[in-house]
Chains A and B, each alone.
Chain A
Amino acid sequence: MLELTKEEESALKGEQGEIMQMAYRILVATGEATDAKKLIPIEWAHLSGVNYNTIGDAGEEFLSNISKDARVKVKTTLNPMGFDIDNVKNYGLDENFISKQLSIRNSYETMGVTPSFSCIPYEIFDIPKNGTQVAFAESNAAIHANSYDNLKTNKESAFSALASAIVGKSPFSSLRKNDTPNITIRMKVSDPNELTYGMLGFFAGKVGDTSVNISGLVEMDKRQSKAMCGGMGTSGTCAKFIFSDGDPDCEKIDFDEKEMKNVYDELNTAEKGDLITLGSPQLGLDEISDLTGKLKGRSFQKRCMVFMPRTVKEQARKIGYTNELERAGCEILSDCCTCLTPLINKDSVDAVTTNSIKGAFYLKNSNGIDVDLKSLSQIIEDETR
């Protein structure tokens, strides 16, 4: 049972207002679900639940209501929304969507949230010192924070992260201590690229509980590690991987060519795409630099949407990368992402080519669009001249 201090009890009873009561009710449910014994302070919350496409009218009204009184107590950053205001007029999005999306943005800003509109907070903000307790919704970011950034977070839900931001505390659950995985995945696929790692992550999410060991990995670049976090966040509840062989008595399971083919067959539903998307998770500056290098002099033969945070777009513009990408035919979009974007819909697009496992899952299930999965180097080989 979660034990509350007197002050916390009083908030739960509603003595500190309705917003605090709601936030504590969410934290208590979170605490019970994760077998936490107490609440502890957090230093940073990252919220999901921003895109009108995903939260709908109910979400928009909820945020509009609570923003009258709710204020965040700690540094709080925000996931992508549905479009990039700079070029939304090119995409024929209806007025209702745009006005509801702007209302959502306004509600978050009123609450004191930094409008970062990014699913890669770990790449665009300074990382606090080792062991800092944070509350990240956005599954890929929670996994990245726990696995690569020495931060500690639950795989928060949109509501548990919001409640943590408002209260400044989160339940002290197993992932915030030192969780010991009960399974080790042995990576058996040779010569992996980011698509392989995305599929490994998707597989790991299905077999793992709160955390997994992964053995047999060689050094990974940012694109590969982000792909793995995105894949794992999509398929499971697992929020951390540890690069270890695990205890001798820990259950072992192989990720081999056969398992990889199972994931591929589940998510790959087309042989070619009408357009290409790069970025889910959004691309960071390293990936933009690498992409620009790979494209030298080549151009895409069909539409290619490239998603990145606004801050990365600004940096890329200064260095000259955005010019180069536009020359190669890329459409650059900030503040939004492949995942659950309303800018790709089945009235105009049958299939999308992407290297993102996370993007593939949501394009198929939410947008109803088929997916052609390929690694970035394969995409450049097949789709540019």
Chain B
Amino acid sequence: MKKILVSGKVEGIVLKSNLPINFLGTVDKKTGIISDQNHDLFEKSIKNSILVFPSGVGSSVGAYTIYSIKSNNSAPLAMICQKADLTVATGCALANIPLIIVTDDEFSSIQNGMKISLDTNSSNPLEYQ
């Protein structure tokens, strides 16, 4: 693991994408469903997942989308990225969604559907089950 941006402790199932996510406009702020048909998570909901993706991209307003999906109970339990970006970092900070940045090797070893426990206070913050 490279860095902890927002701390927390959760367990959940991985929803992974190898494509970056533009939260504004491509993630429904009520349901958490992805609307970009060019995206590999098209029509999937990110709700209650451990969302694993390279990074956020695009509009600065995406931070509000993250805050909104949390307020609407449609947010991921945690996010794991390969690269830190400000939209995701500040959206998660305000919405209190745990967010960590992992190494490239760790990123490639995390598979869709895996069960993960994340505890940023533990000496071993990321455990695969």
Contacts and interface: CB of A to CB of B under 8 A. Distances in A.
Q: Please classify how large the interface on chain B is, using the bins under 10, 10 to 19, 20 to 34, 35 or more.
A: 35 or more
A116 to B, nearest CB: 16
Contacts of A28: 93
B111 interface: no
A49 B63 contact: yes
A22 B58 contact: no
Contact of A58 (B29, B58, B61, B101): B29
Given A48-B61, A49-B63, A237 B92 contact: no
Interface in A205-260: 205, 209, 233-237
A33 interface: yes
Interface string A359-382: 001100110100000000000000
Nearest to B59: A139
B67 A154 contact: no
A59 B64 contact: yes
B28 to A, nearest CB: 10
B60 A30 contact: no
B89 A157 contact: yes
B68 interface: yes
A155 B86 contact: yes
B115 interface: no
A365 B84 contact: no
Interface in B28-58: 29-30, 35-36, 38, 55-58
Interface string A36-78: 0000000000001101001111110110000000000000000
A25 to B, nearest CB: 6
Interface residues of A, number: 48
Interface in B70-91: 70-72, 83-87, 89-91
B59 A233 contact: yes
Given A56-B29, A366-B24, A29 B89 contact: yes
Nearest to B101: A33
B17 interface: no
A333 B12 CA distance: 47
A124 to B, nearest CB: 19
A163 B63 CA distance: 13
B11 to A, nearest CB: 23
Nearest to A266: B38
B64 A56 contact: yes
Nearest to A239: B86
Given A236-B57, A237-B85, A365-B25, A22 B94 contact: yes
A130 B93 CA distance: 32
A163 B89 CA distance: 13
A81 to B, nearest CB: 12
A345 interface: no
Contacts of A361: 22, 25, 58
B84 A366 contact: no
A30 B61 contact: no
A332 interface: no
A366 B25 CA distance: 4
Contacts of A163: 90
A26 B71 CA distance: 18
A155 B83 CA distance: 14
A158 B64 contact: yes
A156 B89 contact: no
A232 to B, nearest CB: 10
B71 A58 contact: yes
B68 A365 contact: no
A139 B89 contact: no
Contacts of A32: 3-5, 84, 89
A52 to B, nearest CB: 11
Contacts of A122: none
Given A29-B5, A157-B63, A365-B35, A234 B89 contact: no
Contacts of A156: 60, 86
B117 interface: no
Contacts of B29: 56, 58
Contacts of A54: 24-25, 59, 61, 64-65
Contact of A139 (B60, B91, B92): B60
30 contacts: A25-B94, A29-B89, A29-B93, A33-B84, A48-B59, A51-B61, A54-B24, A56-B30, A56-B64, A58-B64, A59-B64, A62-B67, A155-B60, A155-B85, A156-B60, A157-B62, A158-B60, A158-B61, A158-B62, A158-B63, A161-B60, A209-B83, A233-B58, A236-B58, A237-B20, A237-B83, A340-B25, A365-B36, A366-B25, A366-B35
Given A54-B59, A361-B58, 5 more contacts: A33-B101, A54-B24, A158-B90, A361-B22, A366-B26
The 3 closest A-B pairs by CB, nearest first: A366-B25, A33-B84, A29-B93
